């Protein structure tokens, strides 16, 4: 389970990171625009109401409320919400180009800025589409200017109405726009490629780390042959149990690593104690208890394993505070260690040891239930009981199916 979650985290592409950034950027832009546009919208609507200009009121109201709707309903795809911003911008560009009184300069500025916004908020293709829309809109207004339809509005301007001025300025504007979009496209491609390379290297490094952890766990099991397979069994079971307790997916990675390395501190315990076939003396038991501290000292300096330390360091703490090494009590014990301790004891009881044979599953589970509230978190024990029963039912069903097929 942890392995799958880890792969999902690691395989996240640079493009996914960019998409998430754009989604958040669209949220910010829409919220700012919805708030900033309210005063001018209100003033304009009142002014047009006084003049009876219902068409203008309807047009501006449609633009504003579309912005407000997109700002509130964030579950809508961010690309559609971004195009709401761009559409509103083009409406404002058209209004300013046709308004006269010097506002056509603002209209040109809208036409220049909107493709850049499209590139940033949606992507490269959207940037080029917006560039084409700006060009067509500007060309349309050049045609309107050429026809003379706007002369009554523009004749009072200091700017000559000559079509050559519009064409010349428009050509300069769109040459600049194409240069900006081209540069942004190249820059984006370079940054995405760099980020992909960095993530690939990070993935290889994390794989190396995890393979090293696997090797350390195997090395410990080779030393203590009686517990061979224990680390991997408890690791797998702990992940399944944690899934039933709704541990967050990102925490599963640390849970996996901590489970795998839970007894790494035993590498500091001498063989005469670690491999002793009989019961330990009080002095030997005190020495054995130090393996949790040895684990902490061994791993604490590795930032990569900081959160995974909870299990190696705390899995012998007890719910009633009588555990070691720090005597933590109740919820003071990290959840990962509380989950793991139940699995660890159950696996130890159901496995053969030099000093006793393996217990039946029913007897081991009865012991876990008996120690709930003393050694173990009662909530975790309740869920573990269901887990054991579910696993037993599954095993029985699988055996029955195999017998049926064989027959």
Cβ neighbours for 80, distance < 8 A, ≥ 6 positions apart: 70
**Average pLDDT, stretch 334-338?**
95
- The confidence score (pLDDT) of residue 380 equals 95
The model's pLDDT over 86-97, given as tens digits with 9 standing for 90+, comes to: 888 888 787 777
pTM to 2 decimal places: 0.54
60 pLDDT more than 60: yes
- The confidence score (pLDDT) of residue 246 equals 82
Q: Whose CA is closest to 67, among 80, 55, 85, 49?
A: 85
**Average pLDDT, stretch 262-287?**
85
- The confidence score (pLDDT) of residue 367 equals 95
**Percent of the chain residues topping a pLDDT of 70:** 77
**Token digits for 307?**
């959160």
Rounded distance, CA 99 to CA 332, Å? Answer: 69
Rounded distance, CA 30 to CA 117, Å? Answer: 12
Architecture of the domain whose range is 208-399: Orthogonal Bundle (1.10)
- The confidence score (pLDDT) of residue 324 equals 93
120 pLDDT more than 70: yes
**Average pLDDT, stretch 101-106?**
59
The most confident of the ranges 130-134, 301-305, 350-354 is 130-134
Confidence category of residue 166, pLDDT binned at 50, 70, 90 = low
9 pLDDT more than 60: no
Rounded distance, CA 84 to CA 66, Å? Answer: 7
Contact 108, 145 (CB under 8 A): no
- The confidence score (pLDDT) of residue 21 equals 78
- The confidence score (pLDDT) of residue 7 equals 40
Q: How far is CA 391 from the centre of its chain?
A: 31
379 pLDDT more than 90: yes
**Average pLDDT, stretch 44-66?**
83
Rounded distance, CA 405 to CA 307, Å? Answer: 47
- The confidence score (pLDDT) of residue 198 equals 78
Contact 163, 146 (CB under 8 A): yes
Which has the higher per-residue pLDDT, 107 or 268? 268
The model's pLDDT over 178-212, given as tens digits with 9 standing for 90+, comes to: 666 676 676 667 777 777 777 777 777 777 777 77
Residue 90: count of CB within 10 angstroms of its CB: 18
Residue 392: count of CB within 10 angstroms of its CB: 13
Quickly list DSSP for 81-131: HHHHHHHHHHHHHHHHHHH-TTTHHHHHHHHHHHHHHHHHHT-HHHHHHHH
- The confidence score (pLDDT) of residue 75 equals 86
**Percent of the chain residues topping a pLDDT of 90:** 21
**Token digits for 223?**
């030393």
Contact 194, 322 (CB under 8 A): no
Domain boundaries, given as residue ranges, for the chain:
12-195, 208-399
Confidence category of residue 151, pLDDT binned at 50, 70, 90 = low
Angle between helices 163-223 and 230-244 (to 10 degrees): 130
Mean pLDDT of the chain: 78
Query: Looking at 158-162, 235-239, 278-282, which range is the least confident one?
Result: 158-162
Query: Is 67 exposed, middle or buried (CB count within 10 Å of its CB: 0-12, 13-18, 19+)?
Result: buried
């Amino acid at each position: 389970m942890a392995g799958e979650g880890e792969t999902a985290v690691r395989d996240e592409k640079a493009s996914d990171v960019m998409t998430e950034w754009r989604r958040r950027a669209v949220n910010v832009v829409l919220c700012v625009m919805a708030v900033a546009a309210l005063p001018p919208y209100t003033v304009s609507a009142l002014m047009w109401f006084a003049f009876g200009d219902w068409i203008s009121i309807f047009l501006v109201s449609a633009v504003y409320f579309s912005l407000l709707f997109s700002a509130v309903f964030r579950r809508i795809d961010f690309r559609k919400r971004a195009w709401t911003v761009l559409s509103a911008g083009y409406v404002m560009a058209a209004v300013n180009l046709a308004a006269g009184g010097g506002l056509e300069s603002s209209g040109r500025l809208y036409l220049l800025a909107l493709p850049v916004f499209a590139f940033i908020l949606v992507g490269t293709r959207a940037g080029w589409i917006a560039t084409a829309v700006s060009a067509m809109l500007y060309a349309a207004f050049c045609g309107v200017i050429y026809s003379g339809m706007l002369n009554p509005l523009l004749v009072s301007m200091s700017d000559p109405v000559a079509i050559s001025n519009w064409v010349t300025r428009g050509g300069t504007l769109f040459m600049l726009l194409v240069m900006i979009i081209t540069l942004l496209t190249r820059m984006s491609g370079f940054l995405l490629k760099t980020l992909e390379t960095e993530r690939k290297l990070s993935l290889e490094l994390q794989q190396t780390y995890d393979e090293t952890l696997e090797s350390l766990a195997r090395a410990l099991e080779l030393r203590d042959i009686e517990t061979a397979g224990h680390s991997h069994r408890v690791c797998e079971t702990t992940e399944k149990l944690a899934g039933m307790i709704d541990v967050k997916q990102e925490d599963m990675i640390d849970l996996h690593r901590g489970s795998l390395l839970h007894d790494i501190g035993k590498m500091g315990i001498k063989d005469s104690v670690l491999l002793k076939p009989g019961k330990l003396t009080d002095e030997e038991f005190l020495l054995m208890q130090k393996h949790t501290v040895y684990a902490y000292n061994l791993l604490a300096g590795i930032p990569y394993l900081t959160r995974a330390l909870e299990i190696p360091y705390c899995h012998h703490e007890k719910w009633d505070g009588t555990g070691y090494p720090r005597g933590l009590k109740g919820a003071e014990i990290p959840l990962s260690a509380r989950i793991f301790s139940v699995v660890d004891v159950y696996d130890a009881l159901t496995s053969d040891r030099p000093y006793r044979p393996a217990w039946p599953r029913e007897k081991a589970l009865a012991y876990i239930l008996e120690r709930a509230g003393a050694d173990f978190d009662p909530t975790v024990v309740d869920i573990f009981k269901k887990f054991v029963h579910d696993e037993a039912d599954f095993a029985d069903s699988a055996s029955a199916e195999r017998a049926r097929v064989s027959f």
